[in-house]
Amino acid sequence: MRHVALALLLALASPLFAQVTDQQLLQLPGKDWLTYNGSYNSQRNSELDQIKPSNIHTLVAQWAFHVNGGAPMQSVPIAVNGLLYFTQPNALYAIDGRSGRLIWDHHHPLVKVKDREGPQRGAAVYKDRVYYLTTDDYLIALNATTGSVIYEVKIAETTEGYSAPPAPFIAKGKVIVGVAPGDRGLNGWLEAYDADTGKKLWHWDAIPKPGEPGNETWAGDSWKHAGAATWMSGSYDPELNLYYLGMGNPSPDFNGDVRIGDNLYSECMVALDLDTGKMKWYFQFTPHDMMDWDGSEVPVLVDAMYEGKMRKLLVQADRNGFYYVLDRETGKFLHGVPFVKQMNWASGLTSEGRPIRIPGIEPSLTGTKVCPSSIGAANWMSPAYNPQTNLFYVVALEGCGLATKNTETFRPGGFQYRAGGDVLLRDSDWKVYVRALDLTTGKLVWEQERIGNIGLGGGLLSTKTGLIFSGELNGQFVALDAKTGKSLWHFNTGEGINAQPMTYMVNGKQYVAIATNTTVFSFALLDSEKVTAK
């Protein structure tokens, strides 16, 4: 009897309302913003329509939430029923989306100096919990209303050099996590955990072991310290049940002599079965890369007409300078063109999508000019896609590097294993743009320079009303006309932006939020009630 009473008490005491359902996670971003890129297809195109080109001149700051000790933050807030969940390395904050006031916070204590390395890109939500990863490689599940710890699971070891910067990705009750960095000769992998219990469900190695297909693409023992980090949050097609993620660079980054071969699955887009972790297909952007061009840029999933047929496409603007259109059912290469002008390492792509290399344009002992630089033509800053304009929007960097290689060898314990580097040639041609590409041809439709910026900065947000929000490294938060690229609104946040904007709605009012280096800002229309009323 006593046990019955106890069980009853526990049942009553447990949270009564599941917050985020599988069904909600399948929706396009509207009132809530439930994943790192807003929805499984990573289009970052919001259904909210309150803020539009005709009224954006009345967009004003609503609140700012300063994060104590915030380093250059790279996190995207998650919004659930007006609550924002926001991370910086080893801390998670639950904020009132209307007022910016703190509701609770969770701080993960560290023990070793090495545990402090690496950024944090955001949280994930499922049912009544919120999840994030720490720099010392814990997956932490918290009660979403109080921040109470439900479980902590160690997924990797900092003593080996691993950190865990991605926002966890959740689908069908599975939390998918990955690791960084690939610049230390550490092999990447992906793992899925049961969201409810924290139990590991599967593990997938990004570098095939001897006897496995693909291992032959690594000379000798080079597969042992091979890179291919999994440092981003990917995209998911619920119909195909495939999870898509781009793999990082091979190790050592700049000297390919010790790893002759294509180096699979470094810099590949891979499609894994969500339930089993088995790879269905891969497509390699840069076989045998020598420029640290991680293939980790966000894969955007679009269903669109291609050559007269409706197809399931995956598009990606890669760090190597090419824009790719793939068939996401099979991984078949359909089309690819450069989206930057400064490209000297390849003259084009073969019909299979393999780059046609220009001999000699690679890191050398004395230095070779390679374009793009190792920063890449694009990087992890999220792109966006608007189905109405049929344009793909990306932050592009025009610039070259003077690339050298050396004979550095692997040392265990998480030391850099780059064997070279490049001096960024920040001359007058070094420029950052927001570019709009035609989805299927990759043709440039418009571009807007981020004047005075020397780095890529933050990513993009699209709204169905025809706006592109864009956060710049020099602190400007800008709204562009999605059709023309014309600048319609801007706000100087006063410090650098390295994160992606998002949007949400509370009590009928639409907000747009972005993290700067140390502060989260949220904006709304001056007179939003009037807009809603009509």
Partner 1 sequence: MRLCCTYLALLVTGAVSYALAQTTSPKNPLGHGPEVVAEGHTIFNQTCTTCHGMDGSEGERAPALVGERRFFRLSEGALYDTVKHGIPGTGMPALNISDENIWKVVVFIRAMRSSASEVDVPGNVAHGKEVFFGKGSCAKCHMLDGKGGTIGPDLSNIGAQITLKRLKESLTIAGPIPAGYQPVKVVTLKGQTIDGIAKNQDDFSIQLLDNQNHIHLLDRAELKSVNEPKTSLMPHNYDKVLSPDEYNDLLAMLAKQVTINLHRKIEGDGEVGR
Q: Does the protein bind partner 1 through residue 4 (CB under 8 A)?
A: no
The type of residue at 1 is M
CA proximity to 392, closest of 338, 451, 316: 316
Distance separating alpha carbons of residues 482 and 43, to the nearest angstrom? 14
Q: Does the protein bind partner 1 through residue 15 (CB under 8 A)?
A: yes
Indicate which single residue of 110, 346, 402, 454 sits in contact with partner 1 (rule: CB under 8 A): 110
Number of residues that bind partner 1 (CB under 8 A): 37
CB 485 within 8 A of CB 478: no
* Of residues 82 and 166, the one with the C-beta less far from partner 1: 82
Distance separating alpha carbons of residues 445 and 436, to the nearest angstrom? 6
Kindly state the smallest distance separating residue 158's Cβ from partner 1, in Å: 12
CB 315 within 8 A of CB 439: yes
Q: Does the protein bind partner 1 through residue 1 (CB under 8 A)?
A: no
Q: Does the protein bind partner 1 through residue 104 (CB under 8 A)?
A: yes
CA proximity to 363, closest of 355, 353, 371, 375: 371
Q: Does the protein bind partner 1 through residue 533 (CB under 8 A)?
A: no
Q: Does the protein bind partner 1 through residue 5 (CB under 8 A)?
A: yes
49 is known as an active-site residue: no
Q: Which stretch binds partner 1 (CB under 8 A): 1-9, 178-186, 443-451, 462-470?
A: 1-9
CB 519 within 8 A of CB 93: no
Identified catalytic residue from 183, 237, 289, 292: 292
Q: Does the protein bind partner 1 through residue 71 (CB under 8 A)?
A: no
Site string for partner 1, 225-244 (x = CB under 8 A): --------------------
Question: Ramachandran region of residue 137, left (φ > 0), alpha (ψ -120 to 50) or beta?
Answer: left
Span 116-155, contacts to partner 1 by CB under 8 A: 143, 145-152
Structure tokens at 254: 């700049």
Phi (first) and psi of residue 182, to 5 degrees: -95, 10
Kindly list the distances between the CA atom of residue 379 and the CA atoms of 292, 295, 296, 376, in Å, as whole numbers in the listed order. 11, 9, 7, 6
Phi (first) and psi of residue 253, to 5 degrees: -60, -50
Tell me the HSE value of 41 on the side-chain side, using a 13 A CA sphere: 22
* Of residues 15 and 173, the one with the C-beta less far from partner 1: 15
Kindly list the distances between the CA atom of residue 139 and the CA atoms of 107, 153, 165, 258, 432, in Å, as whole numbers in the listed order. 13, 5, 11, 34, 35
Q: Does the protein bind partner 1 through residue 24 (CB under 8 A)?
A: no
* Of residues 98 and 335, the one with the C-beta less far from partner 1: 98
Span 76-95, contacts to partner 1 by CB under 8 A: 81-83
Indicate which single residue of 28, 64, 71, 103 sits in contact with partner 1 (rule: CB under 8 A): 103
* Of residues 149 and 451, the one with the C-beta less far from partner 1: 149
Kindly state the smallest distance separating residue 164's Cβ from partner 1, in Å: 18
CA proximity to 401, closest of 425, 376, 426: 425
Neighbours of 24 (CB within 10 A): 16
Kindly state the smallest distance separating residue 319's Cβ from partner 1, in Å: 35
Kindly state the smallest distance separating residue 385's Cβ from partner 1, in Å: 31
Rounded to the nearest 5 degrees, what angle is found at the Cα of 225, between the Cα atoms of 254 and 153?
120
Indicate which single residue of 1, 13, 310, 533 sits in contact with partner 1 (rule: CB under 8 A): 13
Catalytic residues: 292
- List interacting residues with partner 1 (CB under 8 A): 2, 5-6, 9-10, 13-17, 81-83, 96-99, 101-104, 109-113, 143, 145-152, 506-507
